Amino acid sequence: MKDGGDRPILSCHDVAPTRAGATGDIGSPVVYANGEDPRPAKGAVREVHPAAAAAALEYSPDLDGLADPGEVVWAWVPFEEDASRGKDRPLLVVGRRRRALLALMLTSRPPGGPERDDCLDLGPGRWDRDGRRSYLRLDRVFELAEDDIRREGSVLEPERFSLVVDALRRLGWR
């Protein structure tokens, strides 16, 4: 099956032979050379926009195996330029809307130009095994369910979480 281009659509459980731009043995999940992960059949988060401001911000981490506000988790996140493509990324859970979790994307790429206004410098954290500085993308809000999460990363300290809350409240969150 193709996505309209020449890229096959694969779940994280599909098996495919190695091809140009991808690495992996037959029987192994495909990993693209650019770091992209195939869109999973289940577990892809959905990006939401201004409606996220209706969510109440809270800090209630509890490393019980379930994601809670204040925790950094990993999930498959679509690329901005093509939502059919993406990769596993860290997300900071900031609140809930009904039964869904709301989370913001973390990136280690320093923001530049107009993107700078939409980022909050969080510094390094345990969610990045290389200890790189992380930036929270305030403009990339995702709604996810518990089963969308691939793994828990760590807990963001209350002091840093309060910086996130302040930044989001300036954007109209409550």
Confidence class for position 123, pLDDT limits 50, 70, 90: very high
Q: Which residue type does 123 have?
A: G
The answer to whether residue 127 scores a pLDDT higher than 70 is yes
Going along the chain from its start, the domains and CATH numbers come out as 1-38 (no CATH), 44-170 (2.30.30.110)
Q: Which residue type does 136 have?
A: L
- Contact (Cβ atoms closer than 8 angstroms) between residue 174 and residue 142: no
For β-strands 56-57 and 133-144, DSSP reports them as: unpaired
- pLDDT tens digits along 25-55: 444 455 555 566 666 665 556 666 554 555 7
The pTM is what?
0.72
Euclidean distance between CA atoms 54 and 117, whole angstroms: 21
**Cα torsion 29, 35, 37, 38: sign:** negative
Q: State the average pLDDT over residues 109-122.
A: 87
Listed in order, strand segments (DSSP E) in 16-159 are 22-23, 31-32, 46-48, 56-57, 71-78, 86-97, 100-107, 119-124, 133-144, 149-155
Euclidean distance between CA atoms 36 and 79, whole angstroms: 9
